[in-house]
Amino acid sequence: MSVDGQASMRVTMQGDVTVRFEQRRYGVKAITAGVGNGLRYSAAVLQSALGLFEGVSVFIDHGQLHELFSQTGGRSVRNVLGVFERVFFDDDAVWGDLRVYPGPDAEWFTAMVDQHLVDVSEERASPRIGLSAVLDVAIQGEEVVSIGKVVSVDVVFDPARGGEFIRALNQQSAVSSEQ
């Protein structure tokens, strides 16, 4: 449900409580063709896996080693930032929207990315934040021949394969890193 351009949800607990939050979206590039972490990703392989990217979870940072061996066998819901959707392939890259979920990380995250986009557009120094796809792949030598699963697209420092924030999509004065 939408109220005044903001998403809202209704929670019932001994009465009605309406919680409102502004749902933020960013146009992003998730991965580009090329070499990352010693593996070569061709444009054809990325394009053939495009549908696997739709709706995947976006986490703050990659999973840590101790998470992989935890009781749940993976990531914590506490690190979910949002979802990657409206994917498309263009210019040898997988593009789409990062839709940010409400939560304790949303406020600082959106403030950081908004400032990053301003800094990039004004050609000022900015931290190397971006996106990194976590993929299950089949390889021959150093060549990725297929992508079997997109596990997540994570917000990281110094992404290996071209993942970046391009623009804020639902801000009155949208900022962009495109020049």
What's the confidence (pLDDT) of residue 86?
97
What whole-number distance in Å separates Cα of residue 115 and Cα of residue 135? 29
The rounded distance, in Å, linking the Cα atoms of 143 and 150 is 17
Q: Cα–Cα distance between 170 and 168 in angstroms, integer?
A: 6
pTM of the model: 0.79
- Give the pLDDT score at 5: 42
Tokens 């304790």 label which residue? Answer: 104
* Pair type for strands 164-168 and 56-60: unpaired
Q: Where are the domains of the chain?
A: 23-168
The H or E element containing residue 87 is: strand 80-90
pLDDT along the chain (179 residues), means of 10: 43 49 87 94 98 95 60 70 97 97 90 96 95 94 96 92 92 46
Parallel, antiparallel, or unpaired for β 16-21 and 56-60? unpaired
Q: DSSP letter for 128, please.
A: -
pLDDT at 54: 98
Which residues contact residue 36 at a Cβ distance below 8 angstroms, ignoring those fewer than 6 apart? 160, 161, 162
CA distances from 116 to 27, 72, 132, 163 (A): 14, 34, 17, 14
Pull the structure tokens for residue 5. 């351009």
Gap between the Cα atoms of 125 and 28, Å rounded: 20
Distant-in-sequence, close-in-space partners of 58: CB < 8 Å, separation ≥ 6: 80, 81, 82, 83, 84, 98, 131, 152, 153, 154, 155
Burial class of 15 by CB neighbour count within 10 A (0 to 12, 13 to 18, 19+):
exposed
**pLDDT tens per residue, range 93-130:** 999 999 999 988 899 999 999 999 999 999 999 999 99
pLDDT of residue 9: 44
pLDDT of residue 115: 96
Please tell me the predicted confidence (pLDDT) of residue 69.
53
What is the model's pLDDT at position 65? 55
- What is the residue type of 126? S
Residue 170's pLDDT is what?
Answer: 80
